[in-house]
Every structure is written in C-alpha cells, then in structure tokens.
Structure 1
C-alpha cells in the first residue's frame, strides 16, 4: 500500500513542487477526529433545538389558534441545521485554514488543488457534499487505496489531493541583503501589493522554501519566470537594478507578510 507516494505538481507559474501524499492511515485518523468534533457539535445543536422547540410549543399551546404547521417547520429547521453543521464544518475549516480541519491539522495533512495552490470555496464545497457518497460502504477508502493519486470521489470531482504537511508553512528563513531590506520598506509605495492573491503568495512561499532542492539552472529559470509574473501582477514598472529575482521575490513575500 502506497502510504508515502510522492507526487510532482506544476503550478500555473511553471513552478514544480513535490509533495508526499497523505495516505489512508493519516486520512482515516483525521476523519475520525473530525467526525468526533462534528458529533459533539450535532449533539449540542440537538439539545438546543429540543429545548427551544419544547419551549415554543408550550407557549403556543397556551394560546388560541391552529399551530399544526409549526412542528413540520421545526423539523425542517433541525434538518437544515444538521446539514449546515456537517457540511459547513469541513467547508469552513478547509477554506479558512488553508485546507486543514482540526483532524487534518492533528494528523499533519492538508488539502490542496491539483496544481499545488490552496483550495477555495468551490473545491471545499464539492468535497464536503460528496463526502456521504465516499463514506457509503467505504467507497472513498477503496478509491484512495487503489488509486495512483490516492483520491476519493470528492477529490476527483473537486480537483484536489491530500498531502502530508511539510512542517515548513511558516515564514521561510531568509538571509536578507541590504538591498532586499530597502525594497521591503519601500515596496508598499512602489507597487500595488493588494493585487497579489493568496494563491500567488503561496506559490512564492513554496518556491522560497524549496529552492535549495533545485538545480542551479532550474532555480534561475523558475525564479526569473516567477519574478516577472509577480512584477506584472503588482503593477511594478521594473525590478530594481542590481536585485536578483530571488531577492525580489523575498522582498515581495516579506512586504506582504509584514503589511
């Protein structure tokens, strides 16, 4: 069984990133934790719903009128609330926590798109809505076990994969030159950093984190390509003279992080 498969992904910026797939064991552990959290949330919601419904019906029975339509509406609220908690748990965490639910965070795995970028609302929603199908008779587990990219049905439809956390998601360790530090200070006034999307910043971070593993030529070509695309995105007329593409990317990353 391929618990430690590695996969190479090519980003839209032509940067090649390598990841280790999460494996069925880590995913099962994460799902077990998440389902316990969801179950506790549903239990709390059920208790609250029973209490409020009982109070409401007691109040209505003391008044004149036909309130026979109220119980079906209360049941509808319960069903919608249950669905919102179940689906919203996975959607909310995966979108706002960069592909990690509490269970995935504990298991040190993460959901990303097929091109290495962080997932968005559409991908998270598709994965969550198709989760019951994957759970039915462990269909998703079979897809993960026997699929080359270890994807369940929700991953295939959403265009996502689940990878092991590298443990290097924090700010990369950078030895800044004086020129880079000067650009970090002045870049917010020279360029429109708000045009840089979170996906773009994630690609820059991944490159800075993994560039030591690249050959000299590959590192030069990738950094130059990425620097040109970033310069265009933030509407900077030109990369300052005497600054390498690596130094420029370092300055952009730190300028955005420190903003």
Structure 2
C-alpha cells in the first residue's frame, strides 16, 4: 500500500518531520495547469506589446523614417520580458503562496526547503532559472523518476523538495455497518496502527466512498485485496470469523480515525 515515497527531514532544532513526496504524476498535472495560466499571462503581454510596438514604430517612422535596428531592439526586449514572465510567474507565486503556484495549489502539493522550512526567494529563483533546462531537455523527468527524493535539477541546485500537502482526516460520507462498529474496539486492542500511513488510510477511504459505484465483481476483488493488505499493515494475526472484507475495511477506517483523534 506504499504508493508514495516518504522522506524524513531533521530541522535545525533536531525535530524530525515526515513528508510524502509529490511524485511525477502530481507534478506533471500541476505544471500543465501552471503553463495554461502562464500562457494566459503571456498572451495578454504579447497582445499589449504588439499594439505598443506597432504604434511606436509608426510614430518613429513619421519622425525619422524606417529604423531596422529599432525593430530588432523591440524584438529583443520582447524576448527578454517573456523570459522574465516565465521565471517570475513561478518565483512570485512560490514566494508569496508558501511554495505553491496555481497548479500546485490545485494538485495539493508545495515546495519546501531541504530542512523542512518554507521556500524563500533565493531558492525559488534558482528553481525557476533552471526550469527551462529541466523542461526542454526532459532532465527533470529523468531526475525525478530515478532519484530517491524525486528532485529535478532545479531542486538539487536550490536545495528544495516538492511534497504533498497533509490532508486532515474527514468524517465518513458513507454508511458503516453495525458489525464494523463492534469490531473497532477489538482492533484498537489487538492491532498496531503505528505502521499505517495517511496514504494507506486514504486508499481505504477512497474505496469505501466509491464502492457503491463499482460493479460487484470488481468491488469484491478489490475489497479482498485491500483487506489483506490492511491486515498486514496493522499487524493483525487473524480477522474474526464471519467478518466480510467490507466490514473489516470499515472497522479499520473507524479505528484509525479514532486513534488519530486521540493522539
């Protein structure tokens, strides 16, 4: 059930923090959204610049005639501003939004420093300056997929990590059987939930919320797999007789939720 890589960081105060790394899928989704938003900014600039440069050239042509050098200068300035918009988009949002851009916010991921502290202007600038290299030559994908900490080149240079935001545990929005509620007390005594991570809990919750829409055969197979994996994660020797896979998963869900609320 370990679908995501986790990393433990030690702060300067010797406090250990554990995070779930964002993963290539979440980062690609966030980047796609960011490029769409950035594209809107760029489109607005190009339209404004085209109107401004055209009018400027017309005025100067009336005064001094055609000036080829001025046209080249305007193109160079346009390219320079485009690069600043590209870099500045990520720098401004990541600095002001505590490591998030619009895409990262929708994907529920954020950038932090290697010591667990929020990203600062210097780190964000370094990441953004190296983004063209990571994106154009696909070095970022190579480093993220093969690296243990899923860092692209910009992350290595800036000393940053991209993590998932920890989501609060929400109450269930699905029916829970009486058998599961009865089993909860036994699980809290016999099972060890210290090995269950938030993403393990999230997988169970996702299944319980979506099971009603599944076809019976798929629901039965998936519930058996999840029940078996959950039994191993919580180090439970034996599931009580007469308890179905769905009832067991409901009980695990409730037991983990209650134990977490008592910490």
> What's the TM-score, normalizing by structure 2?
0.61
Moved over 2 A (4+): 64-69
Q: What are the superposed Cα offsets for residues 164-213 of structure 1, whole Å, 9 maximum, x if unpaired?
A: 01146xxxxxxxxxxxxxxxxxxxxxxxxxxxxxxxxxxxxxxxxxxxx9
Q: How far apart are 1:137 and its partner, in Å? A: 3.3
SS of equivalent to 1:69: helix
1:65, distance to aligned residue in structure 2 (A): 5.8
- Separation in structure 2 between the aligned mates of residue 99 and residue 84 of structure 1, nearest angstrom: 19
Please say if 1:8 is aligned against 2:8. Answer: yes
Distance of 1:136 and 1:24 partners within structure 2: 16
2:64 is paired with a residue whose SS is coil
* Structure of higher CA gyration radius: 2
Where in structure 2 are there 5+ consecutive unaligned residues?
Answer: 169-193, 195-263
Q: Could you tell me which residue of structure 2 aligns to residue 105 of structure 1?
A: 105
1:66 CA displacement: 7.0
| Count of aligned pairs between the two proteins | 168
Distance in 2 (alpha carbons) for counterparts of 1:32 and 1:62:
44
Map of 2:82 onto structure 1: 82
Deviation at 1:82, TM superposition (A): 0.1
Gaps of 5+ in 1: 169-212, 214-259
Q: Distance in 2 between matches of 1:65 and 1:32?
A: 44
Match of 1:20 in 2: 20
Summarize the alignment of residues 61-210 of structure 1 with structure 2, pairs less than 5 Å apart. 61-64=61-64, 67-167=67-167
Instruction: Quote the offset at 1:68 in angstroms.
Output: 4.0
Residues 5 and 20, structure 1, Cα contact 8 Å, conserved in 2: yes
Change (3 A) 1:81 1:3: farther
Give the conservation status (yes or no) of the 8 Å contact 1:4–1:21: yes
> SS of the counterpart of 1:8?
strand
Cα deviation for residue 63 of structure 1 reads 1.5
State the alpha-carbon separation in 2 of the partners of residues 38 and 64 from structure 1.
Answer: 37
